[in-house]
Structure 1
Amino acid sequence: MPIDHKQPYDESNIFARILRGELPAKTVFESEHALAFHDISPAAAVHVLVIPKGAYVSWDDFSANASDAEIAGFVRAVGETARIVGAEPGGYRLLANTGKRAGQEVPHLHVHLFGGQPLGPMLAR
């Protein structure tokens, strides 16, 4: 169910639990500021999630409140993850849903990295 990205951070969300080691994840990359892991329900040949380690509900929250080091570390983690999974040479798509209208389902910023196949149009009609 889509969430309201203006609500306070929920420490019980699935990504917070993964970061605390309470739930397993198939890690692709980890740094001081980010964790990347395979999506449990992939929508493409390559489907990896990249999340900041800080408690940020959405891109809006992250861009307004994260430190410069967190922002740089997260953006670099997305690029490094694309290279690690081999998506970079053929091209890839990044998707970050923010709020109900976009269909955000987990109240922790996450970027979907899709690749490994032709991805079609930007938006489904």
Structure 2
Amino acid sequence: MPIDATHPYDDDNIFARILRGEIPAKRVYEDAFAVAFHDIAPQAPVHLLVIPTGAYVSWDDFSARASEAEIAGYIRAIGHVAREHGLVEPGYRLLANIGAHGGQEVPHLHVHLFGGRPLGIMLSQ
């Protein structure tokens, strides 16, 4: 069920629990600013989630409250994960669902990284 991106951060959301190690995830990258792991219901041959390690609900929340180091570290982590998975040359898609209209289901900022095949048009007409 989509959430409202202005919703307060829920410390018990699934990504917060993954960050704390309470729920297993097939991690592919981790540093002080981000964790990346395989999506449990992949929509492409490569479907990874990249989440900031801080408690941020949305891009608005992240851009307003995160430090410059957190912002730079998170963006660099996304690029690193794409490179490490061989996605730069063939191309890939980043998707962040924000708020109810955007279809956000987990109240923790996250980016889906899709690749491994041609992905087609972004939105159907």
Distance, in Å, in 2 between the alignment partners of 1:52 and 1:42 is: 20
> TM-score scaled to structure 1, two decimals?
0.98
Aligned partners of 1:80 and 1:90: how far apart in 2? 15
Extract unaligned runs of 5+ from structure 1.
Answer: none
**Counterparts of 1:54 and 1:30 in 2: how far apart (Å)?**
13
Q: Percent identity?
A: 70
Question: Distance in 2 between the 1:57 and 1:41 partners?
Answer: 21
Report Cα offsets for 1:83-113 as digits up to 9, x if no partner: 1111111000000111000100000000000
1 CA distance for matches of 2:47 and 2:115? Answer: 7
| Distance in 1 between residues matched to 2:80 and 2:102, nearest whole Å | 26
Q: 1:36 matched to which residue of 2?
A: 36
Q: Which residue of the partner structure matches residue 52 of structure 1? A: 52
Counterparts of 1:33 and 1:97, CA distance in 2: 20
Q: 1:25 offset after TM fit, Å?
A: 0.6
Amino acid of the structure 2 residue aligned with 1:20: R
Q: Counterparts of 2:123 and 2:104 in 1: how far apart (Å)?
A: 15
Give, as a single letter, the amino acid of the residue that structure 2 aligns with 1:47: H
- Flag as ranges the 4+ runs of structure 1 deviating above 6 A: none
Q: Please report how far the alpha carbon of residue 124 of structure 1 lies from its aligned counterpart in structure 2 after TM superposition.
A: 3.0
For residue 81 of structure 1, report the CA deviation from its aligned partner.
0.3
Give TM-score, length-normalised by structure 2: 0.98
Equivalent pairs counted in the alignment come to 125
Aligned-partner residue type, residue 84 of structure 1: E
